[in-house]
A and B are shown apart, each in its own frame.
Chain A
Amino acid sequence: MSQRQIIQVFEQYQKSRFQFVQTVSDLALRPQNIEILQNAGVMSLLRCLMLDVVPSIQQTAALALGRLADHSDDLAEAVVKEGILPQLVQSLALKNRFYKKAAAFVLRSVAKHSPELSQEVVASGGVDALVLCLEEFDPGVKEAAAWALGYIARHNASLSQSVVDAGAVPLLVLCLLEPEIALKRIAASTLSDISKHTPELAQTVVDAGAIAHLAQMILNPDAKLKRQVFSALSQISKHSVSLAEMVIEADIFPAAVACLKDPDDYVRKNVTTLMREVVKHTPELSQVIVNCGGMATVIDYLGECRGNLRLPGIMMLGYVAAHSENLAMAVILSKGVPQLALCLSEEHEHHIKAAIAWSIGQIGHHTPEHAKAVASSDLLVKLLELYMDASSSEDLQAKSKKALKSILQKCTYLPGLEPLLYDVPSNILKYVVCQFSKVLPNDSKARRLFVTSGGLKKVQEIDAEPGSPLQEYINAINSCFPEEIVRYYSPGYSEVLLKRLENYQPA
């Protein structure tokens, strides 16, 4: 045969290989094809094709492998078992940028499924190779490498530590400064995943100067970038007071409050999460956020969103109110209590209701003023209902009981307390009656109201063991009123009177 014919044979083979790889990678995009491909033994074939001479076939094979591993756990494990990882890691250092992108994609899809698979990736030297990729010029390669590192670091603290030990953090901070938005997003997301596990990791991220760069990106118009930036800042600030103070010193706060009006839901949720993580440490940090108007904006945000998105906002209100009495008053003045009442009536999930009950307890337990503000929105009745409801979870019941007790011990607002005399278990009734016994001796108008609204009647109907504190409170209440009225309202008085009538002889 002539030379041209021989070469044609080779070209045909190359074309068919290329077509195969291309088709497999296109098929791998659909989940229904994956099992068929797996059964047909695509893994070993792709493994051989990754060692192919032609670079485009190598790249497409790697891409196909990545897509397959992405879809399911078993395929990712198969990738590891077949020993493809060391090959990939070696070639990451040598080949061109398209191959690097595809190889980083494979590593990412393997690492995302479980910590064990990520450990395999780390053990085969993948982390060092990916960090080398972060030093490349091409932004696509950097993005793929950063993404893979993010998925590895996401699982647990030791994997994050191995990522940090490979020196990834300064390179990631440099990636934050690049002009491409996608690269910034991925770098922010990876920094967030690294710093979420322990304070030491967060400190490493902060020492690399990440906070200043993240703070600059807050006013960027891209919504997904803002999500990742706020998530990163909240993961950093959640660990300790000093980290939270460093985040605040970056002057994000008046600007971040404006992001609460962003149309994207998750941006708002992440801003609220950041505020919650900062606020929970000390009263001074809460003061900073309250002073820049953050409280009012969060309360408005609670009115606009639904479901799980409300949870960080509710917890933030609870943490702020827990620190001191004037912060709790600030929450009340910013119209927090009616908003919480609304949330309580709208939400049905038990964990959200438990969070609302806890926050209300934190707001109301400081002084009688606060308890009055809570009681006047009829929240005491609702808390009682939550406590008494048999279908509430244990956590919800415990939290609502604790909140109710702590508010009742300070409540002197009698119209709010009166509904609580009816159908109440005795451990709560004790507190209610105790409060009445404290207020009634001093206030004559309250005594009159108590009689006319039927409260005195109800108190007489309570039977308590003699000598118990409940009986003492009832006696204290009875001693505030003249005997005739007490006798009049005591149960069975009409029978007593009728008996007297039977014995009476007209003169």
Chain B
Amino acid sequence: MAEQLKIKSEVEEFKKEYFYRNSGAMTKAIKISEAQLNLRHIEPTTKATYFQAEENRQRDYQAANRIQSWFRASKVRAYLSHLHKKAIIIQRIWRGFTARARFRQMVKAAYFIMKMNFYEAMAVRIQQRWRGFFVRKHIHNYYARKSYLEGLSKKNELVRMELAELEELQKRERHCVEMVKEQTAKVYQAHRLHHLLSTKQCPGVFNSPFRPAPHEMEILLRQVKYQAPTRLDPRGRACLMGMLGPTAPSFPGTLGSPWIKTTGTCCSSKPILPPISSKKQQGLFRKPGEVWEQRMLCPDLTLRLQTSYTHLEEAQNQLQHKGTGSMLHHLRHSSNSFTQPAYAKSFR
């Protein structure tokens, strides 16, 4: 068995050799070089080992290259991955740090904004209340408007009443003026128609016997006193009528020469003034010296009299001494009832 195994392994080896020997590009190259170098005369086994060694050298060199490059690469890879891992650690730590810082800032900002929103919301509430109050109190004041409109209605009523009164007054005035005008016209007519006055013998036109009472013209004719015709032109006469009142039937007495002279200018509405009478001295004037004396000189103002207080008794005593007793007795009694007349002479 063992020999069989040995032979098998040799066959195997031989096949391998043969395979190695005859495989590869080297075989052809060796065969060429063999042909060139005339290496045929060298022994086949050394030749086989030499070729095999050549081929193996290349192969082994390449293999060794590969192994070495792989090893270097894995060394570098290991180094790089180590570096990457460390870099990642550093970056992770850094990112975490900055992110936390940013987050802290964001939290602060959010807090600040929340506070501000709250304040602003409260401020808006305050402002709303204030604006509402202000507008209702000062700008769109309901009560002021109401009282204004009420006051306005009252004022309107008042004005309407006052104006109605005024109108009434004015109407009455105009009516009065018209009545006066009418009456003066009638009086004027009465003056012109004086000749139609009724007499005892003959009743006049306005006093017909068939009427129950005389016509008003008749009454006016009776009241008006006849006046001699003067040389007045009609304008002057009308003015005169206008000037005197409605109840003045007795004016002829006041007509005199001054009126006639002023007819030219009395048509205008200006009132006519009475004429200026002749110049009279106004009073009994004292001489200036007297007046000065009166003003300048001071009177004697004393309580003393020219006559003494006991003047009367002394006079009586004197009489008593001079005259008889009975006469004195009478005088004395009668003198007691006198009042004292002497004081008036003490002042100048």
Contact in complex: B163, A258 (CB < 8 Å): yes
Among B145, B159, B170, point to the contact of A296 (Cβ < 8 A): B159
Given contacts A291-B155, A293-B158, A295-B156, contact A329 B163 (CB under 8 A): no
A335 nearest CB neighbor, chain B only:
B156
Residue numbers in A under 8 Å from B148 (CB-CB): 326
Instruction: Count residues of A near B (Cβ-Cβ below 8 Å).
Output: 18
Contact in complex: A296, B149 (CB < 8 Å): no
Given contacts A296-B156, A297-B160, contact A258 B149 (CB under 8 A): no
Residue numbers in B under 8 Å from A297 (CB-CB): 159-160, 163
Residues facing A in B161-219 (CB within 8 A) are 163, 166-167, 170, 174
Contact in complex: A326, B167 (CB < 8 Å): no
Q: How far is the CA of A294 from the CA of B264 in the complex (A)?
A: 47
Q: Closest CB of chain B to A367's CB: distance in Å?
A: 12
Kindly supply a per-residue 1/0 record for chain A positions 367-395, scoring 1 wherever the CB is within 8 Å of any chain B CB and 0 otherwise.
00000000000000000000000000000
Contact in complex: A261, B152 (CB < 8 Å): no
Q: How far is the CA of A329 from the CA of B146 in the complex (A)?
A: 10
Residue numbers in A under 8 Å from B153 (CB-CB): 333-334
Contact in complex: A330, B160 (CB < 8 Å): no
Given contacts A291-B155, A326-B145, A333-B153, contact A296 B160 (CB under 8 A): yes
Instruction: Count residues of B near A (Cβ-Cβ below 8 Å).
Output: 16
Kindly supply a per-residue 1/0 record for chain A positions 167-192, scoring 1 wherever the CB is within 8 Å of any chain B CB and 0 otherwise.
00000000000000000000000000
Interface contacts (Cβ under 8 Å), in number, total 43
Residue numbers in A under 8 Å from B152 (CB-CB): 290-291, 330, 333-334
Given contacts A291-B152, A291-B155, A334-B152, contact A261 B160 (CB under 8 A): no
Residue numbers in B under 8 Å from A128 (CB-CB): none
Chain A residues touching B, majority SS: helix
Q: How far is the CA of A258 from the CA of B161 in the complex (A)?
A: 11
Q: How far is the CA of A260 from the CA of B163 in the complex (A)?
A: 9
Residue numbers in A under 8 Å from B155 (CB-CB): 291, 293
Q: How far is the CA of A291 from the CA of B149 in the complex (A)?
A: 10
Residue numbers in A under 8 Å from B167 (CB-CB): 261
Given contacts A293-B156, A295-B156, A334-B156, contact A329 B149 (CB under 8 A): yes
Which interface residue of A263, A297, A329, A334 has the most chain B CB atoms within 10 A? A334
Residue numbers in A under 8 Å from B158 (CB-CB): 293
Q: Answer yes or no: A245 CB below 8 A from chain B CBs.
A: no
Q: Closest CB of chain A to B161's CB: distance in Å?
A: 10
Residue numbers in B under 8 Å from A329 (CB-CB): 149
Kindly supply a per-residue 1/0 record for chain B positions 260-301, scoring 1 wherever the CB is within 8 Å of any chain A CB and 0 otherwise.
000000000000000000000000000000000000000000
Q: How far is the CA of A293 from the CA of B155 in the complex (A)?
A: 6
Q: Answer yes or no: A300 CB below 8 A from chain B CBs.
A: yes
Contact in complex: A261, B149 (CB < 8 Å): no
A sample of 18 cross-chain residue pairs with beta-carbon separation below 8 angstroms, ordered by A number, consists of A258-B163, A261-B166, A263-B170, A263-B174, A292-B159, A293-B155, A293-B156, A293-B158, A296-B157, A297-B159, A300-B160, A300-B163, A326-B145, A326-B149, A330-B152, A333-B152, A334-B152, A334-B153
Q: A257-B163, A330-B152 known; 10 other A-B pairs, CB under 8 Å?
A: A257-B159, A261-B170, A291-B152, A291-B155, A295-B156, A296-B159, A296-B160, A297-B160, A326-B145, A326-B148
